[in-house]
Amino acid sequence: MNVRVENLRFAYRSFELRVERLDCEAARITAIVGPNGAGKSTLLKCLARLLPISPGTVFVDGRDIVALRGPERARLMGYVPQEPSFIFNYSVLDFVLTGRAAYLTPFTGPSAADRRVAEEALRFAGLEGDARRPFLELSSGERRLVLIARTLAQRSEILLLDEPTAFLDPRHEVEIMGLLRRLADEKGKTLIITLHNLDLAARAADVMVFIKDGRVVASGPAGEVLTEELLRTVYELDMTILEHAGRKVIVK
C-alpha cells in the first residue's frame, strides 16, 4: 500500500512540522533521516496518528486515515516504538498476541487462530525458540525483534518504525535491517523508518527523506539523493562520501 502526505502541519510550542508532499511506495523501505530535533519522530507519530492531524493530509491508497476507525487503521498501519511503554513482564508469545487486539471483539480473548498468527510472526522474526521467555529479560536487540513480530501479528500492511536500530550492536543492526528487507521483498510491506545511522540508511533503504527544522529538504532513491552538498546543508558538517564494494560510506 502507498502512503501519501499532503500539506501536513503539526506544531509544538516551539517547533513546527510542515510537509508539503511525501510519497512512500509499497514494498519499499523509506528512511527518514536528519539531525536531532529535525522532526523525524514527530512525522512518524503523525503518520501513526499518535499525534493529531487534520483531515486530508495523510492517505493510504487514497483513503484518508483520519476517516478510519481505530481497529480499521490498526489493520493498515502498525507503529513500532523504540521500547514499549508497558511494565508487565509478559512472555514473548503473550506480548506478540497483543498485536491481535484490532481483531478481537470486546470481552473476548485471543483464539487458537490468533495464537497461530502470533506463532507465525515469531517464526518469521526468527524467535520461535523464545516464545516462553519473559519479555523484560531479553536484550535490547531481541526486544526490537519482538516488537516487530507483534506488528506482524497485527497483519498491518504499513509498518512505521522509530529508530529500530538505536543503541544496538552491529550484529543486531544487521538482523533488524535484514528482517525489514525481507518484509518489503517477501511480504510486500510498506516500511517507513527513522534512522540516525546514515551509512545504514544508505545501504538498506530504497528511498531516503532528509528533514531539517521540520521541513523535507530532499527525498529520492538512496543511491541518487545522497550527496556531500546535501549532507552539508542538512547537518551543517562537511562529510565525504566514498564508494566501497558497491556501497556508499560516509566519512565525518
Backbone angles phi, psi at 21, to 5 degrees: -160, 135
Q: Tell me the one-letter amino acid at 40.
A: K
Average pLDDT over the chain, rounded to whole?
94
Residues 6+ apart with CB under 8 A from 76: 1, 60, 65, 68, 156, 157, 158
Q: Maximum CA pair distance of the chain?
A: 58
pLDDT band per the 50, 70, 90 thresholds, residue 86: low
**CA–CA distance, 183 with 178 (Å, rounded to integer):** 9
Q: Identify whether the C-beta of residue 139 lies closer than 8 Å to the C-beta of residue 107.
A: no
pLDDT at 85 over 80: no
Distance of CA 29 to the CA centre of its chain: 9
pLDDT at 198 over 90: yes
Domain of 179, in residue numbers: 3-251
H-helix segments, 62-194:
70-76, 92-97, 112-124, 140-153, 170-187
Q: Interior CA angle at 64 toward 35 and 21, to 5°?
A: 40
pLDDT band per the 50, 70, 90 thresholds, residue 247: confident
Q: List, for residues 23-40, the tens digit of each pLDDT value.
A: 999 999 999 999 999 999
pLDDT at 246 over 90: no
Question: What are the b/e assignments for 147-167, b being 16+ CB within 10 Å?
Answer: bbbbbbbbbbbbbbbbbbbee
Q: Tell me the one-letter amino acid at 86.
A: F
Residues 6+ apart with CB under 8 A from 72: none
pLDDT at 248 over 90: no
Q: List, for residues 121-141, the tens digit of each pLDDT value.
A: 999 999 999 999 999 999 989
- The CATH number that applies at residue 201 is 3.40.50.300
**CA–CA distance, 183 with 80 (Å, rounded to integer):** 14
Residue 153: which of 187, 192, 194, 193 has the closest Cα? 187
Reading phi first (left if > 0) and then psi (alpha if -120 to 50, else beta), residue 121 is in: alpha
pLDDT at 87 over 70: no
**CA–CA distance, 142 with 168 (Å, rounded to integer):** 10
Q: Model's pTM, two decimal places?
A: 0.94
Q: Identify whether the C-beta of residue 51 lies closer than 8 Å to the C-beta of residue 11.
A: no
Concatenated DSSP letters for 124-141?
A: HTT-GGGTTSBGGGS-HH
Q: Which neighbouring-strand residues pair with 158?
A: 77, 190
Q: List, for residues 144-167, the tens digit of each pLDDT value.
A: 999 999 999 999 999 999 999 998
> What is the C-alpha radius of gyration for the chain, rounded to an integer number of angstroms?
18
Q: Looking at the 3D structure of the chain, how many domains does it have?
A: 1
